[in-house]
Structure 1
Amino acid sequence: MPYFAIHCIDKPNSFDLRAETRPEHLDYINGFADRILVAGPLLRPDGRAMGSLLIMDFEDRDAAIAFSAGDPYHKVGLFESRSITNWHKVLPA
Structure 2
Amino acid sequence: MLFAILCTDKPGHLQLRMDTRPTHLAFLTGLGDALKFAGPFLGDDEKPNGSLVVIDAETLDAAKATAAEDPYAKAGLFESVDVKRWTWAIKNPDAA
Normalising by the residue count of structure 1, what TM-score does the alignment of the two structures yield?
Answer: 0.94
Runs (4+) of structure 1 exceeding 4 A deviation are: none
Of stretches 55-64 and 78-87 in structure 1, the one that deviates more from structure 2 is: 55-64
Aligned-residue CA RMSD in angstroms? 0.9
Specify the alignment match of 2:66 in structure 1.
67
- Classify the secondary structure of the residue corresponding to 2:24: helix
Partner residue in 1 for 2:79: 80
Residue aligning to 2:35: 36
Unaligned runs of 5+ in 2: none
Structure 1 gap ranges (5+): none
Which residue pairs with 2:49 in the alignment? 50
Aligned-residue offset at 1:30: 0.6
Matched letter for residue 67 of structure 1: T
TM-score w.r.t. the length of structure 2 is 0.91
Q: Percent identity?
A: 45
Q: How many residues align?
A: 92
C-alpha distance in 1 between matches for 2:32 and 2:78: 22
